[in-house]
Amino acid sequence: MGRAAGLAAKLEPDFIDLNFGCPVPKVVRKNGGVALMREPRLIGKIAAEAVRQAAGVPVTAKIRSGWDSSSINFLEVAGILIDSGVAALTLHPRTRVQGFSGRSDWSRIAELVKFSPVPVIGSGDIFAPQDALAMFSQTGCRAVMIGRGALGNPWIFGRARRLLENLSDPGEPQPGERFAQALEQAEMMAGEMGELATIIQMRKHFSYYTRGLAGGAALRRELFACIGLEQARLIFEHYPESMQCTPI
């Protein structure tokens, strides 16, 4: 991890984030991600070495509440990470065993804010711009991280920012705007991985972008069967403009 941080630092990123919250089975099986929360001292060694080799590029870290409900140790791990020199901490207050079930317990983010001398970023269950505001006010966190709420919905960031700045909310994007964004994402992916792999990967994203649209199920059936981006574009073009969209 230290060597990786050193290599990444050469690319001059704004910061390097160490993810000790990842619950994905293939990562956890190899004792990576959130599995390391069962070994706080090892987390400390990893973080300290990453900070050292990052040579001045800020290193931040992401954690969960703990491994399971009987081993809630985010404050202990946070303390070790702070001593190791991390510049900020993100907490997704669920355990590994919870996965994405139950609710993100924001009171733990507030606890960490009180405990931590470095900025705390809150994570979990921000699905609407208003949720971001609620997390700031309920926890005192310095920033929020948005995961699932941004899938097929990149507008959530700009809308949350506008609310924070006391500006009006433009509301949900219209179907045409959603389709254009979905196609732009697909084109960017095609540039990286080719059209066929993109169309397969984009199936789930098309379904996020069309969530809540009138006639969405029929639209998704067509999109799932399509085999090229031009075909996807035509399917979107034929979506009746008159159909109303409902909140994402």
Ligand X SMILES: Cc1cc2nc3c(=O)[nH]c(=O)nc-3n(C[C@H](O)[C@H](O)[C@H](O)COP(=O)(O)O)c2cc1C
Contact 129, 157 (CB under 8 A): no
By beta carbon distance, the residue nearest ligand X is 147
Binding region for ligand X (CB under 6 A) out of 3-11, 28-36, 140-148, 165-173: 140-148
In the list 124, 152, 173, 216, the residue contacting ligand X (rule: CB under 6 A) is: 124
Which residues within the stretch 162-221 sit at the binding site for ligand X (CB under 6 A)?
none
Q: Is 245 a catalytic residue?
A: no
Which positions ≥6 away from 6 have C-beta within 8 Å?
53, 54, 55
Dig out the tokens for 242 from the structure: 């008159």
For position 19 contacting ligand X by CB under 6 A, the verdict is yes
Q: How far is the CB of 175 from ligand X (least distance, A)?
A: 23
SS3 192: helix
Give the N- to C-terminal CA distance of the chain in Å, as an integer: 38
Binding region for ligand X (CB under 6 A) out of 40-48, 139-147, 173-181, 220-228: 139-147
In the list 116, 123, 185, 210, the residue contacting ligand X (rule: CB under 6 A) is: 123
Dig out the tokens for 216 from the structure: 């969405």
Could you give the C-alpha distances from 34 to 70, 113, 157, 193, in angstroms and in order?
A: 15, 20, 26, 29
* Binding stretches for ligand X (CB under 6 A): 19, 21, 62, 92, 123-126, 145-149
